[in-house]
Homo-oligomer: A and B are copies of this chain.
């Protein structure tokens, strides 16, 4: 055990980096395969270069080996340029020109439809050249700028073309020139065909390193947003399409075995790079120039297979037990609003606790998640009449989920069931769809409260209002009746629903207290006590209402600690321990209070000890009740 006195600065090695190092050592001895030689520049690569990088969707980079060695991206550019083509033309227009079927053929097969001339898919050269043709711009320069811009967003730094490799590609690219003329023949490419081919050659000659490729893969895994720069590289709608063609056609005629053994959509290039994407989780890149006969990096495939096996990274490795969308469900018997209630009201509310159900959601709301929510809430109807749905920890809600949740709200409102969605300020799509589905009025009511606390108070008020009158528990107690002319303590007390501090006091006690009570009135919004103020007295609300608030760190928001209604006391803690005020109390509406000064309270001990004992017993009971409520709440929240 480290004692505090001798504690040294400790750090521990990273198990993930250690594993990548072992993986690198393991395959560094593998010298199978040949460096590509079809253009002289590629043949210059050091065959022993070997880098591995793994980048998570939170932007953490794990790398080992030659991850900063530049090389040309080659065919790995294809899915990313396809994404640009999708952005520039939309899915339908692109599908008209380029298919999405795997061919089972090699990487440089021509594979055009004999009738339409449509290339089978965008991962073979023919489809890739067609995709570059679809990138906005008439000239090679315009197209390549657009492509470089996009790739730079994926990588997070400016990309450029290796001019020497480009010239070499262009000089020796006879087959691709033939393909281009075939595409021109079928009108897949228009008059700018040769410009497109030129841009394609440049695109293949973009310089990257292994770390860059890992970041590009992680950006795809992250739904199109670079996880480090937070810049969007591609519209998220096209991510399934990019991953789809990588999955079915990315590894040429090795695609089936790749899906089987590695299970991450991937793309390789003849310079020796491979990228692989585990959607939502991470990107992997390997760089090692020796290729197998199919044109895939030998070590790259081995590393991806081993990595996938070791860390269970297969996309179909089903996580069938995700964190539940409903992270907590509470009833009104377990948690009450911070509006202080009289003990009678509290008893009634706890008895009716099941009438109010609070669901705390979390994570991303998609179809599967919202299906659970719909089912749970529909099952809860009957037991509960009031539903509060807390979205504070909902990080995203996709459009179908927003529609379904809105449909649910509409149906609840139609059935006169109260439902409040709280903490939705970041879910703008949900708010918009709710308005269009449920209408402006129902939507405004549903979204009227911004926290569980305030929505709970509204539900409690509705519950208390709905009780038969003979129970005498109307929420409109003394506060709204106005008795400004009343001066005598007993008359005022008689008007209050309760008086926790003065409970059990007799007439003689009251006449002792009467001269000590200083009455003050506060306008709506004014501060009654402020944080840091000295303890100037115990306050008893006799009309109106006031709330204690503390600022929440980093949010600029206030959190309500309690709301006090007529008969309730506050400020007693600071009088007991003489500490400065720890929270601000402000008047929610015009509020009248009695104040007993600390000196008067103290002097009671000397002159009227029995009265002081009664008051202290009442204080202890008040604390005890609050403590019991707090402990109930902790037990409910801890689950």
From B278, B415, B463, A4 is in contact (CB under 8 Å) with B463
A5 touches B466 (CB 8 A): yes
Q: Indicate how many identical chains form the complex.
A: 2
Say which one of A478-486, A507-515, A620-628 lies at the interface with B: A620-628
Determine if B244 and A260 form an interchain contact, defined as CB atoms under 8 angstroms apart: yes
| Contact yes or no, A323 B327, CB < 8 A | yes
Interface size range of chain A in the complex: 35 or more
Docked pose: A630 CA to B612 CA in angstroms = 27
Contact of A12 with B378 at beta-carbon distance under 8 Å, contacts A265-B316, A355-B4, A609-B609 already known: yes
Contact B362 A281 (CB under 8 A): no
Contact call A321/B104, Cβ cutoff below 8 A: no
A247–B264 Cα distance when bound, in Å, is: 12
A249 at the interface (CB under 8 A from B): yes
Known A-B contacts A260-B245, A318-B239, A616-B617; A378 and B2 likewise in contact (beta carbons under 8 Å):
no
How far is the CB of A614 from the nearest CB of chain B, in Å?
Answer: 9
Is A248 within 8 A of B244, CB to CB? no
Across the interface, which residues of B come within 8 angstroms of A16, CB to CB? 371, 374, 404
A506 within 8 A of B: no
Contacts A239-B318, A624-B577 given: A382-B9 contact, CB under 8 Å? Answer: yes
Evaluate contact between B371 and A60: CB separation under 8 angstroms.
Answer: yes
Would you call A537 an interface residue if the criterion is a C-beta within 8 Å of the partner chain's C-beta atoms?
Answer: no
Query: Does the CB pair A415–B12 fall under 8 Å?
Result: yes
Task: Determine whether A174 belongs to the interface, using a CB cutoff of 8 Å to chain B.
Answer: no
- A368:B411 contact, CB within 8 angstroms: no
Chain A window 571-609, contacts with chain B (Cβ cutoff 8 Å), 1 for yes, 0 for no: 001001100000000000000000000000000010001
| Chain B residues, Cβ within 8 Å of A305 | none
The answer to the question of A498 belonging to the interface, with a C-beta cut-off of 8 Å to chain B, is no
Query: Quick check: A259 and B244 within 8 Å, CB to CB?
Result: yes
Q: How far is the CA of A637 from the CA of B334 in the complex (A)?
A: 14
Q: Is A400 interfacial (CB 8 A cutoff)?
A: yes
Is B101 within 8 A of A253, CB to CB? yes
Closest-CB distance, A243 to chain B (whole angstroms): 4
Distance in angstroms between the alpha carbons of A520 and B9 in the assembled complex: 49
Contacts of A609 in B (CB 8 A): 609-610, 612-613
**Min C-beta distance of A128 to chain B, whole Å:** 15
Q: Which of A2, A10, A256 has the most CB atoms of chain B within a 10 A radius of its CB?
A: A256
Q: A4-B466, A395-B321, A559-B635 are in contact. Are A404 and B15 (CB under 8 A)?
A: yes
Of residues 205 through 229 on chain A, the ones whose CB sits less than 8 Å from some CB of chain B are 221-223, 225
A358-387 residues with Cβ-Cβ distance < 8 A to B are 362-364, 366-368, 371-372, 374-375, 378, 381-382, 385
- Per a CB cutoff under 8 Å, which of B99, B223, B619 touches A620? B619
A248 CB → nearest B CB, Å: 5
Is B259's CB under 8 angstroms from A255's CB? no
Known: A99-B256, A102-B255, A263-B240. Is A319-B280 also a contact (CB below 8 A)?
Answer: yes
CB of A236 within 8 Å of the partner chain:
yes
The residues in A between 93 and 111 inclusive whose CB is less than 8 angstroms from any CB of B are 99-104
Chain B contacts for A635, CB-based, 8 A: 559
Which one of A247, A311, A561 has the greatest number of beta carbons of chain B within 10 Å? A311
Q: Are A381 and B11 in contact (CB under 8 A)?
A: yes
The one of B310, B364, B627 that contacts A321, using a Cβ cutoff of 8 Å? B364
Q: How far is the CA of A100 from the CA of B256 in the complex (A)?
A: 5
Interface flags for A452-472 (1: CB within 8 Å of B; 0: not) read 000000000011011110000
A15 to B619, CA, bound (A): 52
Cα separation A256 to B119 with both chains bound (whole Å): 13
> Within the complex, what minimum Cβ distance (angstroms) separates A66 from chain B?
23
- How far is it, in angstroms, between the C-alpha of A243 and the C-alpha of B414 when the chains are bound? 42
Does A441 lie at the interface of the complex (its beta carbon under 8 Å from any beta carbon of B)? no
A318 engages B256 (CB within 8 Å): no
Q: Mark A9-38, 1 if CB is under 8 A from B, else 0.
A: 111111110100000000000000000000
Closest chain-B Cβ to A223's Cβ sits at a distance in Å of: 4
The docked-state distance in angstroms from the alpha carbon of A5 to that of B466 is 7
Q: Are B620 and A256 in contact (CB under 8 A)?
A: no
Do A322 and B320 touch (CB < 8 A)?
A: no
Contacts of A375 in B (CB 8 A): 60
Per-residue CB proximity of A392-407 to B under 8 Å, as 1/0?
0101101110001001
* Complex interface bits, A231-251 against B, C-beta within 8 A gives 1, otherwise 0: 000001001110111011100
Contact A319/B364 with A4-B467, A245-B260, A310-B400 known, Cβ cut-off 8 Å = yes
Q: How far is the CB of A612 from chain B (nearest CB, A)?
A: 6
* B362 pairs with A323, CB closer than 8 A: yes
Taking CB atoms and an 8 Å cut-off, the chain A residues in 248-298 that contact chain B are 248-249, 253-257, 259-260, 263, 265, 278-282
CA A54 to CA B420, docked complex, whole Å: 29
A100 touches B620 (CB 8 A): no
**Which residues from chain B contact A180 at a C-beta distance below 8 Å?**
none
| Closest chain B CB from A354 CB (angstroms) | 12
Interchain residue pairs A-B with the least CB separation, the first 5: A323-B363, A609-B609, A623-B623, A630-B630, A101-B256
A sample of 18 cross-chain residue pairs with beta-carbon separation below 8 angstroms, ordered by A number, consists of A4-B355, A10-B416, A12-B381, A12-B415, A15-B411, A16-B374, A100-B256, A101-B253, A236-B318, A239-B316, A244-B263, A247-B247, A282-B371, A310-B400, A312-B398, A576-B617, A620-B623, A627-B627
- List 20 other contacts, CB 8 Å, given A248-B260, A280-B368: A4-B385, A7-B385, A10-B416, A11-B382, A57-B320, A104-B104, A240-B260, A244-B263, A247-B247, A247-B259, A247-B316, A278-B368, A312-B366, A312-B367, A322-B323, A323-B323, A559-B635, A561-B631, A609-B612, A637-B637
